[in-house]
Amino acid sequence: HLMSQLADILQSRSWSGLGLQLPPYSMDTRGNAGGGQGAQSPRQPDQLFPLLSESKTAFVIHDLSNHGENISDLFRSSLQYYNAYQGDKYHENNNTLGFINLSTSENKLCIDLMTKRLSRSDMNCTEDALLQYPDWRGQPFLWEEVARFLTYYCKAPAPLDPENVVVLNGCCSVFCALAMVLCDAGVKVFLIPTPFYSGLALTSRLYTKIELFFIHLDSELTGENTRPFQLTVDKLEQGLHEARLKRKKVRGLVLINPQNPLGDVYSRDSLMEYLEFAKRHKLHVILDEIYMLSVFDKSITFHSVLRMESLPDPNRTHVIWGTSKDFGISGFRFGTLYTHSKEVAAAVSSFGCLHGISGTTQHNLCRLLQDRDWIDKMYLPTNHSRLQEAHKYIADKLKALKIPFLNHGSGLYIWINLKKYLDPCTFENELVLHHRFLDNKVVLSCGKSYMCKEPGWFRLVFAETILHLDPLAMHWFCEALQEQKKELV
Amino acid sequence: HLMSQLADILQSRSWSGLGLQLPPYSMDTRGNAGGGQGAQSPRQPDQLFPLLSESKTAFVIHDLSNHGENISDLFRSSLQYYNAYQGDKYHENNNTLGFINLSTSENKLCIDLMTKRLSRSDMNCTEDALLQYPDWRGQPFLWEEVARFLTYYCKAPAPLDPENVVVLNGCCSVFCALAMVLCDAGVKVFLIPTPFYSGLALTSRLYTKIELFFIHLDSELTGENTRPFQLTVDKLEQGLHEARLKRKKVRGLVLINPQNPLGDVYSRDSLMEYLEFAKRHKLHVILDEIYMLSVFDKSITFHSVLRMESLPDPNRTHVIWGTSKDFGISGFRFGTLYTHSKEVAAAVSSFGCLHGISGTTQHNLCRLLQDRDWIDKMYLPTNHSRLQEAHKYIADKLKALKIPFLNHGSGLYIWINLKKYLDPCTFENELVLHHRFLDNKVVLSCGKSYMCKEPGWFRLVFAETILHLDPLAMHWFCEALQEQKKELV
């Protein structure tokens, strides 16, 4: 989501040697740029997104801690994109010149079904217990339902234990608490293959100093790579070796499956190999399976680690899931942890006092998750066919434009290769193209914000209704590319 | 709330020189002790709450970080009380032998009004925007309403600026984020007078190492003290001096007003003196005003710092409020920050990605806060008269029992002096009495968990309906005291 944009800055500060300075977008921190939803601010296609450096001028008093200043800078510059969009959203009737957001990974294709479902009478509940202090691990009825839900949809060989579930307000909260209880900050690190969804990296910086050690995958097809950005055990071994050479104590491995931004779904065999690698080295594995029900290509089988008959190292295997992506309700702020380690579950649940969810929201989530009939017969089939359709629409457009992309059947996004629009192909020029899109009121995430080691890749979110309902949307995308091309010549 | 109990352990670990070892309650970590709500487990008044040391035996694998182990230990032992209560709650029909919770600071007196209000049709809203990613600072409509609400109820001399509001999921989240952006952990400290609500101390330990430096107040009436536990500027100056002697860099002062657990409401003049003290030393002041609308004695005027015509140091004055106490909806997980510093507001709002509230809950909170008619004509008058009545009921009982207490007209609790039941009057014996109450199925918070420097004080929550509806409740309280007295003789 919006955090993917933050990673530019994250990267340019302390995470990379690339030394890129992200030019801040010139507007106030609360996103009044566009003058609100109704503002018909004229497009200015010839003016490159303003490259000013005013982001710090708004504040004169410096009363923050060092950490507070770092965090504030980090978010302030990056939220400018997001606030620009929030303050001047495209709307087919009211604001046809507003920003089109192809950057935030939200599924807007089934919001009609969802609002209808959430309007049913079983959603209204104000029982006393919901209004009072909760169990910090979540309401018991919700962790019980989550266990049943995951047992069913992950095809677990035996019923999952509700005692091993922790419910918090979003997957980043789960990751942050989990990282905190598994890894002593400043001492130990987690391995993570790149490109990857960088919100994880960002949020873990807010409170902690948990370090991620990148295993940079590349797109080229060589002996080892039969697919672009392929993860192999050899690369994991090599990454671990490099980390150790740099005197890092590696504590675990983070995997996103289905992958974000690649859309890759790991095969059962690959997954098992990664888990066995982790076991050999006594590493924890954190699996972010937040897109597990967004595999819309019927020929692809998603294998949750919870489906394995026997896990190589169950007590060190931890699964994160939430409803933000698969149910398109990121605004609900719901994330959950399933771990076989009761010790880890107990430790993470302590963080519930900082990451709690309203009782009434927990009630509604429970009702939603337990409505299997609606999920199986109505929601999932509709969602998958709409995702499929939206994906096809974009894939066809990209083919027509001769833009290469990874053709996977999962997730809400497509990983596209715009290298031919960069000359030379550098991260500096990737950023120029990124701003060219913004000038054309199209928000796209660039590869650098996923710690991709190759410049020129972008993530385009296709689960956006207006994208394929209004021909203008892709038109602006194309316009930005044409402008960029003109400059190249 | 439940966290006040945690402070025993907090204290006994790293916060004090008292070296008290809290005996863990012998039950599993998920509170199956009482066998559920319906279990009629026989009272065993003669058996002191079991003093076993089994809390670590449940887990054999140790896969946590050092920090994870500390946190886990801290919460596990303490949650035993809470889980004991959760698993075996008193109920007037179903479980008359269950635990009566006079420890968790919840207002249950108006839950009938609240559930009725929350059942009205204006609470059902599933607009698209509520289901999607929020502004991390909270939904704009909510921070706008919070600004209006605080302007009105704090009697601010000029309308408060919505841009200075941050909305997070609970006041502990606000405190934690605020402490993080104001104070570099391990380097700088906050002063705080004791006894104080120790949840603040606990939650700030989950992610951060923010240190609180205690200014221990005492109950004796001497030249300086015209009231028990009186806070004076001299004591603040002395505390600052002591902290500096210990080479602590003091960054701020934390004040709770109305005070928890004392019930004190600071006069306008006292408040101004504290703020001027802070300004002299360039200290931030964090004001926790979460009980601001729970001043039920009409002769007392509550002065919010937001009411001041001119604050000595506005950019370093930060107010925390939430609906948990004043509206009795702790389960909603809503806390808010108001600060005149846009820099601080921006920095704290970055933490919204970890402390977000569901959009639908934000909608409901907004509806609630804007219903001034209901609040002013129905809710507040009823709440205040019920609080007054409940307070009087308990005060009369305590007088009959010749138990001294602080007689204030605010908050949900009463600070009682049970020193005469301790011989010698030590923290060890305070804990024995605490367990005596537990054996009689009465949960009470002891003074040590508020970092009180004098043993023998307890906090009794009177905003509990059953307490004054069922004569049995106070009967058990008395029984515990009689038993304790028998042992003394």
- Taking an 8 Å cut-off on Cβ atoms, the answer to whether A184 and B66 are in contact is yes
pLDDT tens, residue by residue, B436-446: 999 999 999 99
Pick the residue of B166, B209, B343, B367 with the most A CBs within 10 A to test the interface with A by mutation.
B343
Residues of B in contact with A172 (CB under 8 A): 353-354
pLDDT tens, residue by residue, B31-78: 333 333 333 444 444 444 443 333 443 444 578 998 899 888 887 766
**Of residues B485, B479, B397, B489, the one with CA closest to residue B439:** B479
Minimal C-alpha gap between A109 and chain B (Å): 11
B67: helix, strand or coil: helix
Query: B115-370: which CATH number, 3.90.330.10, 1.10.357.10, 3.40.640.10, 2.170.120.20?
Result: 3.40.640.10
pLDDT at B145: 98
When the pLDDT of each residue in chain A is averaged and rounded to a whole number, the result is: 86
Q: B373-489: what CATH class? A: alpha beta
Tell whether the model's pLDDT for residue B11 goes beyond 90: no
Minimal C-alpha gap between A76 and chain B (Å): 8
How far apart CA A57 and CA A313 sit, in angstroms, is 52
B9 touches chain A (CB under 8 A): no
A61 touches chain B (CB under 8 A): yes
Residues of B in contact with A30 (CB under 8 A): 163
Q: Is A3-106+412-488 a domain of CATH 3.30.420?
A: no
Tell whether the model's pLDDT for residue B79 goes beyond 80: no
The domain segmentation of chain A, as residue ranges, is: 3-106+412-488, 120-371
pLDDT tens, residue by residue, B93-139: 888 889 999 999 999 999 999 999 999 999 988 899 999 988 888 89
Report, as ranges of residue numbers, the positions in chain A whose pLDDT lies below 50. 1-2, 5-60
Task: Note the residue count of chain B.
Answer: 489
How far apart CA B218 and CA B195 sit, in angstroms, is 9
- Taking an 8 Å cut-off on Cβ atoms, the answer to whether A347 and B115 are in contact is no
Pick the residue of A61, A181, A204 with the most B CBs within 10 A to test the interface with B by mutation.
A181
pLDDT at B203: 83
Contact between A27 and A33 (Cβ < 8 Å): yes
Q: A120-371: what CATH class? A: alpha beta
Output the CA angle A260-A261-A262, nearest 5 degrees.
Answer: 95
Residues of A in contact with B74 (CB under 8 A): 350
- Taking an 8 Å cut-off on Cβ atoms, the answer to whether A133 and B61 are in contact is no
A352 touches chain B (CB under 8 A): no
Pick the residue of B64, B139, B164 with the most A CBs within 10 A to test the interface with A by mutation.
B64
B223 pLDDT band, cuts 50/70/90, is confident
Minimal C-alpha gap between B202 and chain A (Å): 10
How far apart CA B103 and CA B393 sit, in angstroms, is 17
pLDDT at B61: 52
pLDDT at B469: 66
Of A163, A176, A329, the CB nearest to B30: A163
How far apart CA B458 and CA A312 sit, in angstroms, is 50
Q: Which of residues 191-220 of B touch A (CB under 8 A)?
A: 199, 202-203, 206-208
B172 touches chain A (CB under 8 A): yes
**Of residues B483, B481, B486, B485, the one with CA closest to residue B46:** B483
Tell whether the model's pLDDT for residue B16 goes beyond 70: no
Residues in contact with B229: Cβ distance below 8 Å, sequence separation at least 6, in sequence order: B195, B217, B218, B219, B262, B264, B406
Nearest chain B residue to A205 by CA: give it: B351
pLDDT tens, residue by residue, A70-92: 888 887 766 667 777 878 888 87
How far apart CA A468 and CA A456 sit, in angstroms, is 24
Nearest chain B residue to A316 by CA: give it: B63
Residue A120 is which amino acid? R
pLDDT at B3: 53
Distance separating the N- and C-terminal Cα atoms of chain B: 34
How far apart CA A488 and CA A479 sit, in angstroms, is 14
Find the helix or strand (DSSP H, E) in which B396 lies. Answer: helix B380-400
Write the ipTM.
0.89
DSSP letters along A412-478, please? Answer: SEEEEE-GGG-SS--HHHHHHHHHHHHHTTEE-EEGGGGT-SSTTEEEEE---HHHHH-HHHHHHHH
Q: Where are the beta strands (DSSP E) in B144-293?
A: 165-168, 188-194, 211-216, 249-256, 284-288
Minimal C-alpha gap between A129 and chain B (Å): 8
Q: Which residue has the tokens 């888990």?
A: A275
pLDDT tens, residue by residue, B167-218: 999 999 999 999 999 998 777 899 999 999 988 888 888 988 888 999 999 9
A66: helix, strand or coil: helix
Of A64, A132, A328, the CB nearest to B181: A64
Minimal C-alpha gap between B232 and chain A (Å): 26
